[in-house]
Amino acid sequence: MKISIIGGGITGLTTAIALNRKGINARVFEAAEEMNEIGAGVWLQPNAMRVLDLLGLKETILQNGAAINKMEITNQKLKPFKEIKAKTVEDEYGNRTIGIHRGLLQKLLFEEASKKSEIFLGHKLESIEAKENKSILNFEKQTIESDIILGCDGIHSNVRKTIFPKTELRNSGQICWRGIAEFELPSHLKELGKECWGNQIRFGFSEIAPGKVYWFGVAKNNGETSKLQLQDLPKFLKEFDPLISEIIKNTTSIHTGTLSDLKRLEKWSNNTTCLLGDAAHATTPNMGQGACQGIEDAYYIAELLSKNQAQLAFEQFEKLRRKKVDYVVNNSWRFGKMAHSKMGQSLMIMLMKTTPQSVLDKTMKKLYRVDF
Ligand SMILES: Cc1cc2nc3c(=O)[nH]c(=O)nc-3n(C[C@H](O)[C@H](O)[C@H](O)COP(=O)(O)OP(=O)(O)OC[C@H]3O[C@@H](n4cnc5c(N)ncnc54)[C@H](O)[C@@H]3O)c2cc1C
């Protein structure tokens, strides 16, 4: 049985590793010519860390990332409205959130996956044709036959376009800047994840390695904000604590992008092909769960494919994953809309201040528990 994974991002590589752990070999086809250590940072929340633990990768991630011991939502001057202690989360769910360089995470996953899987770089999938019970994968330079296809090719997935041609992206109307600063945080801010709110803007940061700070800023895209360059951001964020400008000034390049998600798909699979990660359910990043959900997908699909025929595995996968994924995508969308509107942001701040811990605990349970 030939399994082809299209896309060697976080979801595709984790899927290859998860299948390997079940004794199943899959080939990975990635469009990029090489695996560069590019990208900013990513927060791996306890649900993703649980899966990475089950795959034997927890120690590697801990050694290469930085544990976030407290998450704080604060005002512009870094004064918390709400804090979530990692110790409490770890006691309940076995893991805390880890901040890590995205490129480094990809490299670690690539190294692990390539121990057992063949990874073909420079292989951009163009189209898929059905031939009897098989699929023909057409790449720019080559044609390959496959029995099962796992589409892990991200929000603009070509696999998805082939099996479900009529899907739509939703533009959130928000813009995001991300960077890594070469910057030593004051000692009381190390091991903290902070998200600072004000003027309908959010700015988040955490250390991801000694002397390296991952940060992101999100604002409404009003035309003007989309033109802002790295050097304009300190002025744009002048109402925020001066530390934020310092972080930005110690950054040499940023990634800028509008935030979109994928309108809910009725189905993620057909007989031979299943979509995973952003290809199936891209979310806005407001809950920091997109990659975490891709990592969960990887574990589930490997479990199911190790016990069932593909079609049944795909059906069960949709049943098991749908509820949580919908919860993340819908709440992240709403959260973004509220957080970047004038009334909405004030309302959310008020709610955050008054939300009892029991409500927060319920939300964490929904996100962080991984049941197989
Ligand atoms: C601003 C921002 C911040 C975020 N922060 C977080 C966070 O803190 N925590 C978190 O969990 N998530 C976060 N996310 C979400 C996260 O980045 C995505 O959910 C995650 O990267 C999805 O992984 P993926 O492998 O499914 O898709 P992708 O990362 O998009 O990977 C797809 C891969 O497929 C390849 N590919 C594409 N087309 C083809 C083709 N035709 N043929 C072959 N290969 C192809 C691409 O080159 C790529 O390597 C954030 C997202 C954004 C935008």
> With the C-alpha atoms ordered 79, 218, 171, 13, is the resulting torsion angle positive or negative?
negative
Per-residue pLDDT, averaged over 166-175, amounts to 96
- Report pLDDT digits (tens) over 66-87: 999 888 999 999 999 877 777 7
In this predicted structure, the answer to whether residue 37 has a pLDDT above a threshold of 70 is: no
Query: 254: which residues sit within 8 A by CB, 6+ positions away?
Result: 40, 177, 178, 179, 230, 233
Per mean pLDDT, which range of 5-9, 85-89, 161-165, 317-321 is the poorest? 85-89
Residue 204 lies in a domain: no
238 CA distance to ligand 1 centroid (A)? 31
C-beta of 291 in contact with ligand 1 (< 6 A): yes
Residue 13 lies in a domain: yes
Beta strands 66-67 and 169-182, pairing class: unpaired
Structural domains of the chain, count = 1
Query: 149: which residues sit within 8 A by CB, 6+ positions away?
Result: 3, 4, 6, 128, 135, 137, 159, 272, 273, 274
Q: Which residue has better confidence, 70 or 52?
A: 52
Residue nearest to atom 31 of ligand 1 (CA): 9
Give the per-residue pLDDT at 139. 96
Give the per-residue pLDDT at 372. 76
Q: Which residue has better confidence, 88 or 255?
A: 255
C-beta of 32 in contact with ligand 1 (< 6 A): yes
Residue nearest to atom 53 of ligand 1 (CA): 285
279 CA distance to ligand 1 centroid (A)? 9
331 CA distance to ligand 1 centroid (A)? 19
Taking the C-alpha atoms of residue 128 and residue 107, their distance in angstroms, rounded to an integer, is 28
Per-residue pLDDT, averaged over 97-121, amounts to 97
Residue 92 lies in a domain: yes
- Domain boundaries, position 274: 3-169+262-368
Taking the C-alpha atoms of residue 34 and residue 55, their distance in angstroms, rounded to an integer, is 25
Taking the C-alpha atoms of residue 225 and residue 227, their distance in angstroms, rounded to an integer, is 5
C-beta of 99 in contact with ligand 1 (< 6 A): no
Residue nearest to atom 29 of ligand 1 (CA): 9
Residue 12 lies in a domain: yes
Residue nearest to atom 28 of ligand 1 (CA): 154
Mean pLDDT rounded to a whole number for the chain: 94
Residue 215 lies in a domain: no
Residue 88 lies in a domain: yes
Beta strands 3-6 and 148-151, pairing class: parallel
Task: Please give the number of the atom of ligand 1 that sits closest to the Cα of 178.
Answer: 1
Report yes or no: 68 and 96 within 8 Å, Cβ to Cβ: yes
CATH number of the structural domain spanning residue 46: 3.50.50.60
Strand partners, 201: 198
In this predicted structure, the answer to whether residue 342 has a pLDDT above a threshold of 90 is: no
Strand partners, 5: 28, 150
In this predicted structure, the answer to whether residue 354 has a pLDDT above a threshold of 90 is: no
Per-residue pLDDT, averaged over 195-216, amounts to 96
Residue 19 lies in a domain: yes
**Which of 14, 30, 121, 170 to mutate for ligand 1's pocket (most ligand atoms within 8 Å of CB)?**
30
C-beta of 7 in contact with ligand 1 (< 6 A): yes
C-beta of 8 in contact with ligand 1 (< 6 A): yes
Residue nearest to atom 4 of ligand 1 (CA): 285
Residue 147 lies in a domain: yes
11 CA distance to ligand 1 centroid (A)? 8
Per-residue pLDDT, averaged over 173-181, amounts to 97
